[in-house]
Amino acid sequence: MNFHILTLFPDMVMQGLSTSIIGRAKDKGLLSIEAVNIRDYTLERHKKVDDYPYGGGAGMLMQAQPVYDAWKSVVDRIGYKPRTVYLTPQGPTFTQPMAKDLAQAKDLILLCGHYEGIDERVLEEIVTDYVSIGDYVLTGGELPAMVMVDAISRMVPGVLTNDESGSTESFEGNLLEYPQYSRPEEWMGKKVPSILLSGDHKKVDEWRREQAILRTIKRRPDLLKKAELTKKEQMKYQEYL
Ligand code: ADE
C-alpha cells in the first residue's frame, strides 16, 4: 500500500513514521510512505502558500493552487485518482472499520491542512473523504495523518507478524480486549488469575470472553450496544444493553 501525504511539514510525518512496526513494514516493501511538500508547488515568488480569507476573519487560509498542484503531481505519477482524505475536525470520527476499509486501497492521499483551513474550491475538486480523529482541534493535520497511516497500515496483510493479533484485539466485535498477564506469577503481591495457569484452553477462552464484556461495560458502555453477543450473553448482560 502506498501513502502520499500532502503537507507543509514533511519531516514531521516522515520521522514519525520511520520506526517500529511501520518502519519495518516499509523496509519489507509492504508499505511506502511519501511526504509531498505543498510548498514546493507554489508559483508565488516568496514560496508563500497562504493568504487572507475573503470576507475577513481571523487567520490565513492555504491557497488552492499549491494544494491542487501537489495533489495533481501524485495523480499524474500513479496514473489514476485515488481516494483523497482531508484531515479535519469537520468529518466523521475515524474508527477501526474505517481503517480496515481504507487498508483495501492501493494508494491513499492524505491532505494535511494548516492555518485556518484550505480554500473550499480545491477541497471540492480533490477530496473524496473528510475524516476527523476526534472532537478536539489540533494545529494541523499531520498528527491525524500519522494516526491514520498507523491504524491503516496494521490492517495491511503481513504488517503484523502474528496473524492472530489483528483479530482478537480491542474493537473486534465492538468489545475491548481482555486483561493480559506475563511473568512473574506474582508481582507486588498481585497474583495472575489462576485460570490462566490451568492449561484448560476452553476455560481460558470463556474467562477472556467474560472479561472482555465486563471491561467493555465498565470502560466503554456505549460500545456494548453494538457488540456481537450470543443470545445467552444478551440475557446475562441485559441491563447494560
Ligand atoms: N485537524 C485539526 N484537528 C483535527 C482533528 N481533530 N482531526 C483531524 N484533523 C484535524
Closest ligand 1 atom to residue 139 Cα is: 2
Residue 141 Cα to ligand 1 middle (Å): 6
What nine digits make up the cell of 175?
Answer: 468489545
Q: Which of 94, 138, 146, 147 to mutate to test the pocket of ligand 1 (most atoms within 8 A of CB)?
A: 138
Q: Tell me the C-alpha distance between 114 and 142, whole Å.
A: 9
Residue type, 209: R
Residue 139 Cα to ligand 1 middle (Å): 8
Residue 145 Cα to ligand 1 middle (Å): 9
Q: Tell me the C-alpha distance between 35 and 16, whole Å.
A: 12
- CA-nearest residue, atom 2 of ligand 1: 138
Q: What is the mean pLDDT of each run of 10 residues along the chain (241 residues)?
A: 98 95 95 98 97 95 98 98 98 96 98 94 98 97 98 95 67 92 98 98 98 97 94 96 93
Q: Which of 88, 95, 123, 129 to mutate to test the pocket of ligand 1 (most atoms within 8 A of CB)?
A: 88
CB 115 within 8 A of CB 58: no
Contacts of 82 (CB under 8 A, 6+ apart): 4, 74, 75, 105, 106, 107, 108, 109
In 8-19, which positions are buried (b, 16+ CB within 10 angstroms) versus exposed (e)? bbbebbeebbee
Query: Tell me, what's the pLDDT at 165?
Result: 67
Q: Is residue 20 packed enough to be buried (19+ CB in 10 Å), middle (13-18) or exposed (0-12)? A: exposed
Ligand 1 contacts (CB < 6 A) are: 87-89, 132-134, 136-138, 141, 144
Closest ligand 1 atom to residue 135 Cα is: 6
Q: Tell me the C-alpha distance between 135 and 137, whole Å.
A: 7
Q: Which of 123, 137, 143, 149 to mutate to test the pocket of ligand 1 (most atoms within 8 A of CB)?
A: 137
Query: Tell me, what's the pLDDT at 161?
Result: 87
Query: Tell me, what's the pLDDT at 193?
Result: 98
Query: Tell me, what's the pLDDT at 49?
Result: 97
**Residue-range domains of the chain with CATH:** 2-153 (3.40.1280.10), 172-240 (1.10.1270.20)
Q: Tell me the C-alpha distance between 227 and 222, whole Å.
A: 10
Q: CB neighbours (10 Å) of residue 86? A: 25
Closest ligand 1 atom to residue 133 Cα is: 7
Query: Tell me, what's the pLDDT at 175?
Result: 95
Total-model pTM: 0.93
Query: Tell me, what's the pLDDT at 115?
Result: 81
Q: Which of 12, 87, 98 to mutate to test the pocket of ligand 1 (most atoms within 8 A of CB)?
A: 87
